[in-house]
Chains A and B, each alone.
Chain A
Amino acid sequence: MMRAFLALLARDLRLAVRLGGGGGMAVFFFLIVISLLPLGIGPDRALLAKVAPGMLWVALLLAALLTLDRLFQADYEDGSLDLLTMGPLPLELVVVAKAVGHWLTTGLPLVVAAPLLGVLLNLPGEAYPPMMAAMLIGTPALSFLGAIGAALTVGIRRGGLLASLLVLPFYIPVLIFGVGAADAAAGGFSGEAGRQSLLLLGAVALASLVLGPLGGAAALRANLR
């Protein structure tokens, strides 16, 4: 079972690397949204520093959302998803493999790009470590919760927009606690608030690690009958 899991994960990673159009595009989108922001609200450095953690997180959420339809849609269209449901791997683990693959090819590059974009927004130096930690903890939750939305809309024509609408409310706790961690460092709150945010973010991420595969597998079963 472990071999099947790893084989599926390796296949997804290989597909992502060779086909392109996934993580790279998400990072590009992230960059463009962040560059639009100063054009929209003006180049005031103090104001940019103030909104930087929140804007980085919101742009990251949107960039992660854009790639959700790659999670199951291509496999559904060429029929490999049907094969996967008949294979030795429980559907829950298929979802786990897919979500981990999505995180490695989308979430991780976004986290790596975030500090560079933080420089563009004049993010204060002491906010970088907590923000990076929060993004590393929080982005897996985005992939796992997103898997539910992607599984719910698999096989629906133009389901990408619907998946975004369904998933965004579930991203709210990640956004709040993620921004909380960086804000506490940047805004001069006590270190306690930032630490609590990180812990709560970890709790949300762990919960989504359970909820994502269960919900995603149930949704796939509903859609693939």
Chain B
Amino acid sequence: MAAMNSPTALQRFHAYANPARFMALSSRLVAPLWILSVLVLGAGLWFALFDSPPDYQQGETVRIMYVHVPSAWLSMFGYGVMAFASAVGLVFRHPLSDVCAKSAAPIGASFTFLALLTGSLWGQPMWGTWWEWDARMTSVLILFFLYLGYIALWATIEEPVRAARAAAVLALVGAINIPIIRYSVVWWNTLHQPASVFRMDGPSIAPAMLLPLGLMGVGFTLLFITLLLVRMRAEVMRRRVRNLRLATAGAAAEG
């Protein structure tokens, strides 16, 4: 009976799904994570805004990239977190993974919106238009719609357990559909406009720009994790308050 003495990896994983243990651990993590994100983001912003060369073609507007690219990365990362937490929630029925999926959605949606907004601001000087029905922008816009639908479903179903399972199904169906949607948008785009407006070839980016971009990427991800923890803590507390309210209301009805 070795398993009784030393917990397996799965058991240890399950132990962290205990909300009380999560609250204890996360309360110690939140402050250092805030400090770390601010430091990395500060350094990244300093490099991005002051200590990196302007692009030889795009000039100073290239600095939008340092916000745009990490936002776009987090828009996808956020959906990944949401879908993964939803799958875990459906399989293992951990309330905490439902909390995680629910908390990740508004953050991911915000970063998606930020990516769209900065993309639009960047497009105006570069292509001379605020919006281009480019395959990438279109599929990010649709990703934003998927986030909104997910949030709307959570908001509509009152009972948390039921809402969690319905929303998890939606998140997973969305996760399967995202590649299909993405592919169809690329197809549609090539069918309608043979020459794409812009091409950003990955490796041609200058090393001097890579450092701030990398720092910003790490900083944004840290910020995402910090915000996720804060939101999850708030959600756990909100559920406690809800249960307390229900209990008081029940007691009042009886007495």
Contacts and interface: CB of A to CB of B under 8 A. Distances in A.
B173 A156 contact: no
Contact of A180 (B145, B153, B181, B187): B187
7 contacts: A156-B157, A166-B152, A176-B188, A180-B188, A200-B187, A211-B173, A211-B176
Given A152-B153, A172-B185, A207-B180, 11 more contacts: A153-B153, A159-B156, A162-B152, A162-B156, A165-B148, A168-B145, A169-B146, A173-B181, A180-B187, A204-B184, A222-B166
Interface in B170-225: 170, 172-174, 176-177, 180-181, 183-185, 187-188, 191
Contacts of A200: 184, 187
B213 to A, nearest CB: 30
Interface of B: 90, 142, 145-146, 148-149, 152-153, 156-157, 161-162, 165-166, 168-170, 172-174, 176-177, 180-181, 183-185, 187-188, 191
A223 B162 contact: yes
Contacts of A211: 173, 176-177
Contact of B185 (A153, A176, A221): A176
Q: For chain A, which range describes its interface: under 10, 10 to 19, 20 to 34, or 35 or more residues? A: 20 to 34
Contacts of B188: 176, 180
Contact of B169 (A177, A193, A204, A218): A218
Contacts of A219: 166, 169-170
Contacts of A218: 90, 165, 169
Q: Which of A170, A200, A222 lies at the interface centre, i.e. has the most chain B CB atoms within 10 A of its CB?
A: A222
A170 B173 contact: yes
Contacts of B168: 222
B191 A166 contact: no
Given A159-B156, A211-B173, A211-B176, A173 B162 contact: no
B185 A165 contact: no
Contacts of B169: 148, 152, 215, 218-219, 222
A145 B146 CA distance: 14
Interface string A145-158: 00010001100100
Nearest to A224: B162
A180 B170 CA distance: 27
B162 A225 contact: yes
A156 B156 CA distance: 7
Interface string A174-201: 0011001001100001000100000010
Given A148-B173, A159-B156, A222 B165 contact: yes
Contact of A162 (B142, B146, B153, B161): B153
A170 B181 CA distance: 7
A119 to B, nearest CB: 25
A12 B88 CA distance: 36
